[in-house]
Amino acid sequence: MDLTIRPRRLRGNERIRRLCRETRMSPDSLIYPIFVDEGLIGARPIDSLPGQCHYGLDCVGQAVEECLAHGVKQCILFGLPGKKDAHGSPAWDKKGVIQRAVRAIKAQYPDFYVITDVCLCEYTDHGHCGILCGETVDNDKTLEVLAKTALSHAQAGADMVAPSDMMDGRIAAIRGTLDKHGFENTPILSYAAKYASAFYGPFRAAAGSAPAFGDRRGYQMDPHNGREALKECALDAAEGADILMVKPALAYLDVIRACAERFDLPVCAYSVSGEYAMVKAAAAAGLIDEYRVMCESAVSVFRAGANQLITYYAKELAQAIKKGDIG
């Protein structure tokens, strides 16, 4: 057979397949979400996210230990406050759940990298991501409280803040406030292209942050739009974002790729709760091989161009990388 080009030559054995991998992964690129519940003592499994737990302030250290044991050295924190109000004021309380969690973690594990989610939806009694004016979220009024919240996280010792609210102008507002208070070296990870997605369902159940009325389509992006993501990223980059995020991950690989090609900032992807819960459910039903689907999904996100991945599988993926099954 006269076949000069035989792609199978590079697939003949494990050694050469590994030699030729185009996508390399490292536990350094994985970020693990940790839920801290102010009203909880100990750790409690989360019904909507099998394998994940809520942690009380007394045992956030346990969550960190579990990360470190797997080689994961960075987390993103989400808080469940004891009280909520119309303005989400527990979000910027110096003694709020996140502020206390950050202090506790950084005191015990100064090298563990702590990113905080900056949003109001877990802290407002109506569950929307900002201050309401009638039934809509008032953009400009919300900026001020987001900036206050981000500042309180930085003051508590957060290494990086990650606004996830999708208000216009919030990166500039947060950057300005952080700089004014001497936190010019605290990076901002912007949830820049965050879609109004049904994939957040299990998270909202876990965080108690589902909107009491309406939905988030007035501020999060329409899934039909790809170019609009570039506009959002360009704005956030111009306002001083250090890292751009695309969220969810698997259904938006085209957006990840487009952002990675267009911008010279790192692109972070968030493999969200619904992505995780679907794999767990299909695996529990005996329909898929959970480990292999987990690995393949994560590889695809990095192949698309992501530089970091936030995932509920961070610990298991770090192990898979160490074993050489991926990366």
Binding interface with ligand PBG (CB under 6 A) = 117, 119, 121, 129, 164, 200, 203-204, 209, 216, 272-273
**What is the DSSP track for 82-136?**
S--BTT-GGGG-TTSHHHHHHHHHHHH-TTSEEEEEE-STTTBTT--SS-EETTE
Query: What's at 294, amino acid-wise?
Result: M
Q: Which of 83, 84, 148, 194 is catalytic?
A: 194
Q: Which of 247, 280, 315, 322 is catalytic?
A: 247
Residue 305 CB, nearest distance to ligand PBG (Å)? 21
Nearer to ligand PBG, 23 or 201 (CB): 201
Residue 239 CB, nearest distance to ligand PBG (Å)? 19
Nearer to ligand PBG, 25 or 120 (CB): 120
**What is the DSSP track for 166-229?**
--TTHHHHHHHHHHHTT-TT--BEEEEEEB--GGGHHHHHHHT---SSS-STTTSBPTT-SHHH
**Residue showing tokens 């910027």:** 92
Has 247 been annotated as catalytic? yes
Residue 298 CB, nearest distance to ligand PBG (Å)? 15
Residue in the shown chain whose Cβ atom is closest to ligand PBG = 203
Closest C-alpha among 111, 115, 107 to residue 30: 115
Phi, psi of 240 (to 5 degrees): 110, 15
Nearer to ligand PBG, 18 or 44 (CB): 44
Structure tokens at 209: 């942050």
Has 83 been annotated as catalytic? no
Residue 310 CB, nearest distance to ligand PBG (Å)? 8
Nearer to ligand PBG, 182 or 214 (CB): 214
Question: Which residues are designated catalytic?
Answer: 194, 247
